[in-house]
Amino acid sequence: MPKPLETAAVLLAGTVAFAAPAAAQVTEDAVMRCAVIVAGEERLACFDEIARGLGPDAAQQIDARRAEEAAAARAAAEEARLAAERAAAEAEREAQLTAEEAYGREDFAPGEGYQGKALDEISATITRADRQSGDEWILYLDNGQVWRADESIPVGVRAGKEVVIKRGFAGSYRMTVGSRSSQATRIR
């Protein structure tokens, strides 16, 4: 005689097996029909149809996911368009730089500021001089450029003094203020 617990388990299992709607049953033939399709878009559409047949929740999930992906693709396309516009505007601005504005620019924007605009030296007036550690200086020039003296320059650096910056060996620069000279790097 079967035990009541075993009988209940068999009845429950049978009820669950027959309770699944026919739409939610995916046949091996349906899966194989999709799997043999060579074209990726068609194969995906076939599998999507099978998934839609699993029930209304599956169809809603598929539609929601497609909407999310479409929105993400639109946002990515818009961001790419804006980035291209910004890059074009920056390239146009760079092309309009005068030789003096471009001078030394490759120090902080590699590959820029040197194409066809090479000057051997520039002269400018110091508008502000900030002393760093020891005798090292940050010099603000009247042409808008900012340079750092990479070696110490003793006293005598102040607003109103003229500075000459010459192109050196291997992309280096030499700054001269009065009779004092130092390696220099353009920082802005």
pTM beyond cutoff 0.85:
no
Tens digit of pLDDT for each residue in 25-84? 778 888 899 989 999 899 988 988 888 888 888 888 888 888 999 999 999 999 999 999
Beta-strand (E) ranges in 41-153? 121-131, 137-141, 146-149
Q: What is the pLDDT of residue 13?
A: 41
For residue 150, the 8-state DSSP code is S
Q: Mean pLDDT highest for which of 51-55, 91-95, 123-127, 149-153? A: 123-127
Residue 140's pLDDT band, with cuts at 50, 70 and 90, is: very high
Q: Quick one: CATH architecture of 119-186?
A: Beta Barrel (2.40)
* CA-closest candidate to residue 134, choices 147, 124, 146, 148: 148
Q: Is residue 65 within 8 Å of residue 52, measured between CB atoms?
A: no
Q: What is the pLDDT of residue 170?
A: 78
The predicted model gives 150-176 an average pLDDT of 80
Q: What residue ranges do the domains of the chain occupy? A: 119-186
Determine the residue type at 20.
A
Residue 93's pLDDT band, with cuts at 50, 70 and 90, is: confident
Which residue has 């924007």 as its token pair?
109
Q: What is the pLDDT of residue 15?
A: 39
